Amino acid sequence: MLSGEMIPAKEFCSNHNIDLSFIVSLQDYGLLEISEQEHELFIPVEQLKPLELWVRLHHEMDINLEGIDTISYLLKQIEILQHKVAALQNRLRLYEETEI
């Protein structure tokens, strides 16, 4: 993934007081895509929000990587369901307007 803005993983880790191995572990779990350029790891800017959530879950709530993976999956499922509900509400609104 070379497109878009990237930040150095070492910079993120030093700002959040975490070890670089945590970032690599998230990549191993498939939760994060990091790229390597000139022997340095970079994180896409669009992945910072979920990454900061995972850091908080891991350090503040002591949730392991398996738990973070499960939470991430469930949050994605909730988001999908919310989109489906919104689409169904829009369709229902369309039918209600035609009845009047």
Q: Tell me, what DSSP letter sits at residue 45?
A: G
Which pLDDT tens digit goes with each residue over 33-60?
999 998 999 999 999 999 999 999 999 9
Residues in the chain, total: 100
pLDDT at 100: 58
pTM of the predicted protein model: 0.78
pLDDT at 3: 55
| Token pair of 20 as six digits | 């670089």
The rounded percent of the chain whose pLDDT value lies above 70 is 95
Contacts of 66 by beta carbon, 8 Å cutoff, 6+ apart = none
- Is residue 68 scored above 80 in pLDDT? yes
**Separation between Cα atoms, residue 12 and residue 87, nearest integer Å:** 37
**What are the chain's domains?**
6-99 (1.10.1660.10)
